[in-house]
Structure formats: structure tokens, C-alpha cells
Amino acid sequence: MQWGRIWLRRGKRRRQEAVMTAISIDRLRNFVDVDFSTGAIIWRRRLPSDFDADGKATQDALCARFNGIYAGKPALAHKGSDGYLKGRVDRVEVKAHRVVWACFHGKWPKFQIDHINRIKTDNRIENLRDVRPSENCRNRSATSVRPYIWQNPKPFFGHRTYRGITYSIPACSTEEEAISAWVEIERCHLPMSEWVYCKDK
């Protein structure tokens, strides 16, 4: 079983690297518009030069067909069997959450994208973070006890993203320590409108 998991991880990593090689960020941004506050992805209108004539239709015909059917409509909105939204860009399958993160940061994520609130279809940029597989697994199995605080199984930990920057608290032995850690972060790094725990202090 362990070897199977290792090969599965290697296969997933190779697919992610293939996507990064096949689609540049500039090309990706030319194809889609992203609303980072909602995570929605919309197809942009394309130019004939974006298409390759296939012998049956010209570039102009392919472009007109695409724009007539897809331009201005949701992109990468198919929900896969794993629960994540996905679709194809340049005939390459991509996950919507990776596209949102890549368009915001201007580069493909290095590791895995973790949905902080564990809702796989919530692709708001503030809900996404690039983490190692071990950290991603920890969040999946954790139990939410308060906003931005989880427990797995005994240490308390937390993380949240604000304007593309992820803030994390260290593992704490008690819930009170976790709250105190967030108070310090909020006072030092976040505007009052984003305070959750400083309001009670």
C-alpha cells in the first residue's frame, strides 16, 4: 500500500509539472479572467492566432465558434470525481484552484494547493495556500474548533490568507494559546476590519 501511495504521489507531481511546462502564466491569463474574491473563472474572448487550423476548419472559424459558445461563460467548472473543479486549457486538463492561485501569484504553485476551510469548490484566493503534501493531509483530517483554528488530534494550529499572504500560528497545546497567537498576528499584520480575536481583547 505504501509503495502504491508513493507512485501515486509521483504520478500526480509529474502531471502538475507537465501542466506548468505546457501552459505559461501569460498564456493562461490571456485565456481566462479570474475573480479572486469569489474564485470564479470566466473564459475570455480569443483571437484567431490562438487556434491551429485542423484541416477541417480555419483559424477564423475555430475562433468564431469558441467565442460564440464559451466567451464570457464559466470556465473550469466541471466537478470531478475527486470533488475539485477542473477543465481544459490548450487541451491540457487543469484544476481550477491551481489556476486561481497561479493567476494571482504569477507562477504555478510549487506543491499542493490546500483549501483552508476544506471546501473543495471554494476557490477564493484567501482560501488557498501552497503547501507540502504532509501539511495538506494534516488540514484534511483536522477538526475546526474556531475560525482559523483546527485541532489534529491534540495540538491546536491555524492559518489564514489575506491579500495573497498566508499567516500561520505554531502548534499550540491549548485553545487559549492558539487564540493568543492569532491576537498577536492580527495586531501586527492585519487591519482592524479583519480582526477576529483582537475584538475580544
Domain residue spans of the chain: 2-111
CA dist., res. 154 & res. 148, Å (int): 16
Quote the cell numbers at residue 147.
Answer: 475560525
Query: Using one digit for the tens of pLDDT, what is the confidence trace for 126-173?
Result: 889 898 887 666 666 566 667 777 777 668 888 888 887 888 888 888
Is the distance from CB of 186 to CB of 194 less than 8 angstroms?
Answer: yes
Query: Using one digit for the tens of pLDDT, what is the confidence trace for 16-43?
Result: 666 666 789 999 999 999 999 999 999 9
The count of other CB atoms within 10 Å of the CB of residue 201 is: 10
The residues, ordered by sequence, that sit 6+ positions from 112 with a Cβ below 8 Å of its Cβ are 130, 131, 132, 133, 136
Which amino acid, 89?
A: V
- Which helix (H) or strand (E) segment holds residue 131: the answer is strand 128-131
